[in-house]
Structure 1
Amino acid sequence: MTAFVLAAGAYTGGWVWEDVAARLRAAGAEAHPAVLTGMGGDAPPAPPGTGLERHVREVVELIDRIEDPDLVLVGHDYGVHPLVGAAGLRPGRVTRLVHVDTGLVQDGAPALALVPDPSVHAVPTGDHGQLPPPGSRADWQRWGSTDGMDDETLGLLVRRAAPQPPATLTEPLRVTAAAAALPVTGVLCTGNGASIAGVQALVELGDPRLQALTDPAVTFFELATGHWPMLSAPDELADALLAAAKGEGHRLTRRPEGEPPPHLRPFLLDPPQRRRERVGRVDLYLPETDTPRPAVVFVHGGPVPAGAEPTPRDWPGFVGHARCVADLGAVGVTLDHRLHDVSAYPRAAEDLAEAVDLVRADPRVDADRVALWFFSGGGLLSARWLAEPPSWLRCVAATYPLLAPLPNWGPADPCFDPVAALSADGKRPPIVLLRVGRERAELAATVAAFLAAADESGTDVEVIDLPDGEHGFETVDHSDDARRAVERTLRAVLDRLED
């Protein structure tokens, strides 16, 4: 019989696991929600200085009281940290760690490092030195998506939330080698912006921090709900935990030695070679003409690890697009911007603006006829250009784009929210959007929201659908339908540059 130890996230206590624990027990397992000092419910109030170390000790004491030798530790959000700390002290008792919709913990890093919203880091403490809990749906959204929770459930969360001892979020976590070696399962919530396909894509980009996730001892499940699945999807979460305890779940694929990752495979079209000039972070692919020509600037997605080689402007997909544009008589432009993590959008936006200025200043470019074409996570960089479009911007294009910040990135910055940009007054350039039918759920939701906002604002959007297409299809799908979709999108963009 498996015994589960369940630790809650910030501002919540053992009570948040009540429905899941009941389902685990009905399946014949033991379930032990951890009661941690200062975490509400039946927990004792937190004396001054209560921090992560105290919660680690309390989890260790709970482990020592459980007779069943087969323990699975399940942590949500902050709750992962005391469990990982305790696992390092009792590794022989733990068969698996389960992370419920939370990021990768790092040795020496505090829990607050996993919260993307910088404003949360500066939340003032209350009268008793505690962090006051969120008081509304909007406030809870700063910590994660409330997708799947009806008003009654959200009301329960608001009523039972408790102040959080600050040191629990700021004390660094010690991850021992024994804890790091334990089998791990991640339960991802697509409503909060995470998916198995998304993690696989990040692994393929070569981020060294994520390569351990391809170990066969690491498994994944995903749930179509928000950040609190124990409240919004307790049945599905309990089923995932029972399966995880058996070592089941999706395993990430590891590429055979010598096989290139998907983004470095050949482009689906084979345009002729064109003269390329490199200026700083920018490459220009030039048509065979002596007169100034329109330009198309291709904006890659991300985040892309800082040390990735080759860099995006040399990826076959972007090189292929730029060569196609040059073959059709315009200047194709690729660039490397520094979107190395989700906090780096301002820096990437500066890189893009500098690249655009450089391109428009080139005498071989018609500075009054430029298109910007965004891919994947680069789609958020389109917001500025849509909100206040310059007269020379004749078209905005997007291929399998992210068009609104994901919920697990914290509150949306209007500067990087294309959906919000469509509410701005003024005339916008026409938009060409290549949509793939097998898109990751978290990205597809942003495209749907963008198209709804475009319809409401009367924005001109041409949607080119590839029903069987997937994210990054241009280097893995060489079908006739895929080729036609890319060719049609290229022509649609260039036609608007000639208008």
Structure 2
Amino acid sequence: MTAFVLIPGMLHGGWWFRPLTDGLRAAGHEVYPLTLTGVAERGHLNNGTVNLDTHIQDVVSVLEAEQLTDVVLVAHSYGGMVASGAADRVPERIASLLYADAFVPRDGESAYGIVDEVWKQRYLAGASADGLTTAGRNPALDPRAGVHPLASLLQSITLTGALDAVTRRTYLHASAFEESPLLETFTRLSEDPTWTVITLPFGHDLIREAPEEFLKLALAAAG
């Protein structure tokens, strides 16, 4: 049995992973789908202080409270920022990293700094209501996708290099994601022999468009 900790992307909660969660549990694994502080159904916790460090601590706290080791950390989209920070803090608890069309930051980078001008404007436009939380404006989003703390997108990550101890690292590239802000990340990792990079002919919402492929690759990440 392997423990999977699932980190969703911007605006989404742990419920986004439901098909993957069900499949992993049916295969006998332990699964922890997280909703980060100030996101989706936890949006009421936004108070202007929730940032990337808060989200990293969300994950670390679960790993420590549940006494999890040999974990497969699965991250989608923005969740890659969080997974990187958590793996850097407690690499001894992580066996494998699976980034599903996600950010893979380097030390000092932020989600806002990685994306292009189009996405920068989308982040800021979504926060026009209060300046603290950005909201989804795409009608294709799950109706449960609510708000997301803007500070978590703006804050730069601090990485010590400790996460390099996690040598099993897989990146799933969604090649049909139009206007993807992650193409430079995909190119960089494709040229890095320490990463396994897999291209999938689907859009960014892999859990909805490719649930069977996602499950198969998650199980493979468990070794």
Q: 1:254-276, CA deviations, whole angstroms, 9 ceiling, x for partnerless residues?
A: xxxxxxxxxxxxxxxxxxxxxxx
The answer for the alignment partner of 1:120 in structure 2 is: 122
User: Is 2:182 aligned against 1:236?
Assistant: no
Aligned residues: 215
Question: 1:238-293 CA distances to partner (integer Å, 9 max, x unpaired)?
Answer: 111111221xxxxxxxxxxxxxxxxxxxxxxxxxxxxxxxxxxxxxxxxxxxxxxx
Give the deviation of 1:210 after TM superposition. Answer: 4.8
Query: What SS is found at the alignment partner of 1:97?
Result: strand
**Superposition pairs for residues 324-363 of structure 1, below 5 Å?**
none
Question: Aligned letter for 1:136?
Answer: P
1:185, distance to aligned residue in structure 2 (A): 0.6
Q: 1:49-95 deviations in whole A, cap 9, x for unaligned?
A: 21011111111101112344210111111111112111111110001
2:222 is equivalent to residue 245 of structure 1: yes
Residue of structure 2 in register with 1:446 after alignment? none
What secondary structure does 2:98 align onto? strand
Q: What is the 5 A alignment of 1:127-138?
A: 127=130, 129-137=132-140
Over 3 Å counting, the alpha-carbon distance change for 1:96 and 1:43 in structure 2 is farther
What amino acid does structure 2 have at the position aligned with 1:189?
A: A
Q: Offset at 1:135?
A: 3.7
Answer yes or no: is 1:214 the counterpart of 2:205. no
Q: Give the SS at the match of 2:31.
A: strand
The amino acid of 1:119's aligned partner reads Q
Deviations 1:293-312 (A, max 9, x none): xxxxxxxxxxxxxxxxxxxx
**1:135-154 correspondence runs (5 A):** 135-137=138-140, 154=141
The 3 A distance-change label for structure 1 pair 245 and 170 is same
SS at match of 2:6: strand
Q: CA deviation at 1:222?
A: 2.9
Q: 3-state SS of the aligned residue for 2:192? A: helix
Partner residue, 2:161: 177
- In our comparison, the structure showing a higher alpha carbon Rg is 1
Structure 2 residue aligned with 1:227: 204
Is the CA contact 1:88–1:178 (under 8 Å) kept in the aligned structure 2?
yes
TM-score by length of 2: 0.86
Amino acid at match of 1:9: G
CA separation of 1:180 and 1:134: change in aligned 2, threshold 3 A: farther
Encode CA deviations 1:182-221: one digit per residue, 9 max, x unaligned: 2211011121269xxx99x95xxxxxx5586212xx2133
Q: CA RMSD of the aligned region, Å? A: 2.5
Pairing 1:485-496 to 2, within 5 Å after superposition: none
Offset from partner CA, 1:110-167 (integer Å, 9 cap, x none): 1122323242253243237311212424xxxxxxxxxxxxxxxx5xx1x111111010
Q: 1:190 aligns with which of 139, 162, 175?
A: 175
Which residue pairs with 1:37 in the alignment?
37
Structure 2: distance between partners of 1:241 and 1:38: 27
Using the size of structure 1 for normalisation, the TM-score is 0.40
* 1:219–1:210 Cα change, 3 Å: closer
